[in-house]
């Protein structure tokens, strides 16, 4: 999924009054230094894009969106 698609989805989610993750996407991400795909979740909130580990549900990366 491209960053442009994530921004378009985030703009759409920004119209809602409720905070929290609006959408969750299941992705396959390549590990650094290895040729193995790892499942990840990508969440879209009103103000950020969140990358979450699928098994532990811990936030791996949080990217703020500035408008």
Q: What is the CATH number of the domain that holds 16?
A: 2.30.29.30
Contact 22, 10 (CB under 8 A): no
Q: How many domains does the chain have?
A: 1
Contact 29, 61 (CB under 8 A): no
| 5: its two tokens | 């698609």
Give the pLDDT confidence of 16-38 residue by residue, as tens digits: 544 577 788 888 888 888 889 88
Between the CA atoms of 42, 39, 32 and 3, what dihedral angle is there, to the nearest 10 degrees?
Answer: -30
d(CA 46, CA 42): 13
What is the extent of the structural domain holding 46? 3-64
Q: With bands split at pLDDT 50, 70 and 90, how would you rate the model's confidence at 15?
A: low
Sheet of 23-30, strand order: 23-30, 37-44, 48-53, 59-64
């Amino acid at each position: 999924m491209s960053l442009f698609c994530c921004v378009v989805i985030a703009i759409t989610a920004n119209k809602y009054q409720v905070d929290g993750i609006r959408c969750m996407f299941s992705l396959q991400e390549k590990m650094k230094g290895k040729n193995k795909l790892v499942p990840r979740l990508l969440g879209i909130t009103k103000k950020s894009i969140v990358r979450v580990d699928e098994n532990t549900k811990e936030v791996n990366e949080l990217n703020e969106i500035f408008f």
